[in-house]
A and B are shown apart, each in its own frame.
Chain A
């Protein structure tokens, strides 16, 4: 405890001294978290969720409802249907986890946003490794102002298409994208990812295509596994460069995240529905100033 205090004090002094290079993460035990279920989504791209003959909620979506309005309580059950191949999954992976309960915490200090994801490692499926370098990857995306069509309602689904790679029959070179994507016009998702094997953070974006590098806001991404429990903390500047969403106090942003568990790649991930991250304002996840 005493050591922590000293370390904290030194850290704070350094932070003041260097003007931010060493960001001071908050005391996570004091930051309220939001429990969000990341579920296995099968083949449910943006085109599918809007198709009334396939998705009963297409009408609700047209009326302006969000995915979470209808599905947040049943995300785990949906994951079960898809992971088992009962619904919209043509190639189910035996033993694949249906869903992962994740705790999401966020805070800021006027300069940086700190966001922490923690979850329990699900049992491995034993299936062939799609990404043999990285047992686990976690990514989150931010969108500002609903400039991307359906971003306010559908979270990351606005980037997920039927012709994106690993979708059935899709070209392997085609990445995620958003309709009319343009960084210059603000029509993009700001993307952050941490990869366990490489132990490296990425800061890219999804506009007319997805790039993993090209953002400028990421300060650090650190993950660790304690027993079966993962925790990953991203630190990013509130200020933004090209390809970043600028974060301001009093505003809420579209937010979603995904975990590639079990050496997964492409669409074989677990995803959250679309939520709001509020900075000092209401949101499903609230990042208060520390």
Chain B
């Protein structure tokens, strides 16, 4: 975990209001595991508005070129600033943050379930899983075809995948949560990972728990420090006594057991 400055190698449109940024950083490439993120400063040096760094999951790492990439949706002042950065500009970021997923202890079959921009951490997990010789199936659902370009990355990666969209404009028509058990036989001994909007995660939690399947969920929340000092980004997690605690998404996570998460705070 360091504060770093890295050269932006590209910062290009990946879809409507979606950008992919590639950054040169041997340190991040060497030290990053699936699920980890960087916290990016969204102002020039000395400017204090917008004040906080913005956290982004690492989308991909390319060891050969010492490059990592993020995908981001342009939503507020921070991402607007980022979208205007150019190739050759220096990015100020801290990372890698959060606990990495330990693929050495996971099974040989990974089922990755994603929704919308929630596919970002799953992309890196898929790549690292394949590199580790695991079978990976991605099932991802989208509202529209904004992330269509991602399918090309999946084909290049050589991973098995199924895409669902609500109106059928991209992939199969329907919700990914309605097709969870289509592949169940293939993944009888699977480890399940998921990431997406909270309503989707709640449905997943009900359906998977109903089948006695636990999953690892990657969570996100607005963050301040991104490393555990401020206790700003918390999620309710069940405790052994039947009560709950607030855990820090940035430090204790972002990966949690889906069965232990309580989604009733907004």
User: A and B: partners?
Assistant: no
A residues whose Cβ falls under 8 Å from a Cβ of B: none
